Structure formats: C-alpha cells, structure tokens
Structure 1
Amino acid sequence: MKSLFYSRLFILLPWVLIVIIMIDIDTKRTSDRSTAYFYLSRLVNAQRQVRAPQTENNRTALPVIYAITPTYSRAVQKAELTRLSNTFRQVPRFHWIVVEDSNIRTELVSRFLAHSGLPYTHLHVLTPRRYKRSGMPRATEQRNAALDWLRTHHKPRDSGVVFFADDDNTYSLELFDEMRSTRQVSVWPVGLVGGRRYERPMVEKGRVVGWYTGWKADRPFAIDMAGFAVNLQVVLTNPRALFKRRGSLPGMQESDFLKQITEVGELEPKAHNCTRVLVWHTRTEKANLENEPRQTQDSVVIEV
C-alpha cells in the first residue's frame, strides 16, 4: 500500500508544483499591473492638474462678451429665447443682458432666465405708444437701458465687448471668437437682410471704405444692428452715445450711433476681411393661432 501511495504521490507532485508556479506568476502579473496602473493614474492626474489651471487662466483672461437682447411678449418669444440661449451657453465668458419691452419683468422671461444656465441681467422698459407705429425703429429704449446699465456697473478699465443680439437672429459660434478681439468697433457681413442675400462692409487694403448692399456699392455709413461689436471701454468713455429716435433716417439708427464713437476708416473688419457671413436675420414666422379657442378648455396651464 505504501509503495502504491508513494508512486501516485510522485506522479501528482510535478503537476501540483506546476499549478503553484502558475498561480504565483499570475499573482505577480496582477500586482505589476496594479502597480503600473497606480503610477500611470497618478501621472495622468498630475498632468491634468497642471493643465487645468492653465485652461482656466486662459478662459479668465478672455474679455467678457455682453450680448444685449431686446425682447417683447409674443407667441414665439420663448422659442426664440431658447434658440439663443442654446447658442450662448457654448460661449465662454459671456453675459446676457435681456431687456423686456414692458413696464414689469414678466414671469415667463424671469423663469426662463433663471433656468438658462447663463450669467444674465434682466431689465425692463416700456416703449411709449407713440413710437410703436409701423416704420419706426424698434427696441430703442431697450438698447439704451442696457447701455445705461453697463455704464453704471462697470469702470472704464473693465474689459469686455458689447454686442447687440436680437432674438430673431441666428449666430455662428465663430462670430464670438471674431468679435472677442475688438479694440474699438469691429464689423462683419450680415446674411438675409433688407430683402437681399447679404450686406457687407467693403474692405480695401484692410480698411473699411463703405458698404455693399447687393446691388451697388454704397459709400454712406449704413450698417445693420447685427453687424458690429463695440469694446466696452469705448461705451464707458462715451457716456452720451445712445440710439436716437430724432434725427435718424429710417435704417440709419445704428450708423448714427456708431458715428458718435468712431469713423468709417477706424472700423475693424472681421470674418476674413468681411467675406464670410456668420450671422443671419432668420426671423421666425409669426405663429398662426387661428384655431386657438378664446377661452382655454385645458385644465392644465402650459407655458409655451
């Protein structure tokens, strides 16, 4: 019996040793992997820690873009503000100044801005009834109220860029990169404006010399509201520069504003020397609510 036991033991022993060796090797490999993973993860985290402050510092160094948006109550108001906010949330160092044409801050706009995820200022000023006739400039009081707020809440040395962003336009993200470097007043083309495919500043040897409106070259200073940005310091150091109702010809209110702070030859062409369109007057179609009952039958109140 003993001889049989020992003979079987000698047969099994090499296999047992092989299994033990394999287990030991696998354990060492796992340990090596864990050790390597540990040091690799520490290296990656260290690199992230080095990069993060640099990225944050770069973002902080950017001048703030102050977008002024006049708005008024209508069926598509929230839809248009939603489209704008989806664009603006992708722009770093951004502050949205929304000015309602109203004698109060409405609940709809207040709730919308509170949930927009954007830094914002909510203002309101009512346009006098006599200025709401067809053919008269719109949003004059609202834009001037935003300019007053900027002058009240900032010092001349504060850095920033002021841009008039109407809520019925569409903006490329590239436009905000272009305007960020505005030293005084920058300009660019605007698409789908004035019944034409585009209007643009004419540039010769890097200088603006006039405007192209689609049919002919116009030398007068005729710029669209969506086609320029102003350095914040220029706004602050020219406290009397406002949008005027009296003395401005139809379609010239923007140009009359800029004449108070700059000259044509000093304008800074953006968008590849004003050869690319990065903003469009898309103008949402007026909502057809002919089937809407005069008295709501739904038991649930839904904000549109």
Structure 2
Amino acid sequence: MLGAKLADYLLRAPSPKQLGRSSGCQNAMHYVKRCLPFVLLLALAFVLIRSSSAPGHAWKFLNAAAPQIKQLSPDDPEAGPTIIVITPTHKRPERFADMTRLFSQTLSHIKNLHWVVIEDANVTSPVVERILQRSGLPYVYFHATTEPGMPKRGWTHRNRALQFIRENYKDYKKGAVVYFADDDNSYDIRIFDQYIRRVKRLGIWAVGLAGSAAVEAPRVANKTIVGWDVVFAPGRAFATDMAGFALNLKEILRVPTASFAQRCAKSSPETCFLAQFGMKKEEAEPFGYDDDPKEVLVWHTKTRNIGTRGSAHGYVVE
C-alpha cells in the first residue's frame, strides 16, 4: 500500500517543462522534500521485513524477539550450581561431527547445564538446531556476524553470549558458573563436576595441546597460583587457554563491561578479558594440580578436514 501511494504521487509529479526554467530547482526541491518521508518509510519497512523473515535470532536482545533458553529438561536441585556453556560455532565440513561427538554426546550427561550456542552467520543452521534438540539440554541458539575490526572469529560471538547471560541471568537464584567451550575441543566429562561447578570466583586448570605445548598449566605453590608453566608468553598476567578457566556468574554480572574488545588484539584474549575483573592470579582457584596422578581434563584439539571429494549422496553435510 505504501509503495502504491508513492508511485501514484510520483506519476502526478510535474515534468521538467511544467516546472519552468526560472523556478525549476526550487520546485524540484519541493517535491523531493514531499517524497522523502515516503522513501524513508519504504526503507524502514524493507528492513523490518528482512529482519523478521531471517531464521534464528539476531544478537540485539533488548526487544520482544529476544531468544530464550529452551528448557528441554528440568534442572536437578541436588546437582549444585548451573554450568552455562558458551560455544561459538561456524560452518565447516567437520563441524557436525565435532558437535555430535564432543558436545551432544558429552554435555548431555551433565546435570544442570545450559548451552548458549552462537552461529557465525546471518542465519542459524537447522542441523545444529537438531543436534541441540537431541542433546536434551536447556539451550539457546542464535546468530551474529563478526563485527568489523575484530581480529579473530568468535570474539563477537562470545560477547553476544555474555550480553545474553547478563540480560537473562541477572536475577538467577540457583548460582551458576560460565565456561567458554569451543566446538572442536575434547572434554573429559569429569571437568564439569570436579572443576567448573566448584568455581567460586575464577577457576584455572591445565589444558592439553594448547598451541605448541604438550600441556599448559598454572604453577601452584601452597594452593596459590604463582606463575605459569606455558610455552607462549609466560609473563602474561593470565597465561591460560580459553578452555582453561571458568568464571562464576556473580563475576560476570559484577563487571558488566568485561568483554573481548578490539583492544584485546594487542595481547592474548584470555589475559585481556580476565584482567577486566580486577583480580590477580593469586586470587584464582587452581584445580587438578594436586591430583595423583595429575590428569588433563580438556584438550585443545582440532578436527582437520583433509579434503572432501565426491557427492554427499543426499546426506546432510556442510
């Protein structure tokens, strides 16, 4: 209807001859000003139609279409604090295998775990949605594209997840711990109950195959972190991998501006992010350092696509 009105108005507009030579510019500007509101309304309508038809949820949550946790199974009141897992993901040939093997089949065994999954795209993936549904876990799945200027994939998406948590868990009474779990790492099921769920403020532990190191871990003396047994930049304030720490929800809410900002590109994202909470390494809680034997419960693995060939033969792949 709006387009029809504008078209009718333009058809009734005077020709250049009717405008006249002396007052042509003045009259032309008059009609431009009269048409401008219609043009702006058309542009707004186009944007609204595009945004409402896109699958999934955009990352701006302060609106009626904000995504919500899909509670497929009830929380267990005896299991302790909820674990909120943040997982950025993006399309690649090995992605479905990773999410099925490492997450859906691992996380589904953990009680009181909420899964926040963020797709790096303009739309969400129906296959990923089905994996999440089959897991039986409470989850939310939305999409966001990488912001211009962000140095690496995943930074924007972790920020969107943090925003979602701050908006939706600000009045959460059960207690919770937030953990960043990439979709291609390997997780021992024990890490969730023995490490993550027990974090009071900031917990840190060993990670296998982090970078070029066999193991990167906090160096602990008298139950206090005094340094870092790492290969890359041991002088960092928090020389840990993204999979090597978790934060209590109270800390996430206490510092609402903490994020993976563009300025973090000048240092490691883990150090830059954790430094924003105003804690020193000595205040963090080390886990696993005094176990016998000392075991690694998370590995920074990468599933590598050696090159796919041939048809998918009708099967669902990326």
**TM interval, short-chain normalised:** 0.7 to 0.9
Report the counterpart of residue 59 of structure 2 in structure 1.
Answer: none
- Residue 78 of structure 2 corresponds to residue 58 of structure 1: yes
Report the counterpart of residue 139 of structure 1 in structure 2.
Answer: 154
Residues 154-204 of structure 1 deviation map (CA, whole Å, 9 limit, x = unaligned):
125631000000011011111111211111000001001111101111111
Report the counterpart of residue 90 of structure 1 in structure 2.
Answer: 109
Report the counterpart of residue 193 of structure 1 in structure 2.
Answer: 210
1:76/1:287 contact within 8 Å kept: no
- Residue 181 of structure 2 corresponds to residue 161 of structure 1: no
> Do the aligned partners of residues 285 and 231 (structure 1) sit closer, same or farther apart at CA in structure 2, a change above 3 Å counting?
same
SS at 1:240 equivalent: coil
One of 249, 270, 293 as aligned partner of 1:232: 249
Report the counterpart of residue 140 of structure 2 in structure 1.
Answer: 121
1:91/1:176 contact within 8 Å kept: yes
Provide the C-alpha distance between the structure 1 equivalents of 2:259 and 2:234, rounded to a whole number of angstroms. 27
Provide the C-alpha distance between the structure 2 equivalents of 1:263 and 1:193, rounded to a whole number of angstroms. 22
- Give 1:276 deviation, angstroms: 3.1
Q: TM-score, normalised by structure 1?
A: 0.72
2:89/2:118 contact within 8 Å kept: yes
Provide the C-alpha distance between the structure 2 equivalents of 1:279 and 1:235, rounded to a whole number of angstroms. 22
One of 170, 173, 180 as aligned partner of 2:186: 170
> Do the aligned partners of residues 168 and 244 (structure 1) sit closer, same or farther apart at CA in structure 2, a change above 3 Å counting?
same
Provide the C-alpha distance between the structure 2 equivalents of 1:273 and 1:248, rounded to a whole number of angstroms. 34
2:119/2:144 contact within 8 Å kept: yes
> Do the aligned partners of residues 243 and 66 (structure 1) sit closer, same or farther apart at CA in structure 2, a change above 3 Å counting?
same
1:71/1:99 contact within 8 Å kept: yes
Report the counterpart of residue 266 of structure 1 in structure 2.
Answer: 283
Aligned identity (percent) is 38
Higher Rg: 1
**Structure 1 unaligned runs (5+)?**
1-55
CA RMSD in angstroms comes to 2.1
Aligned residues: 236
- Give 1:105 deviation, angstroms: 1.5
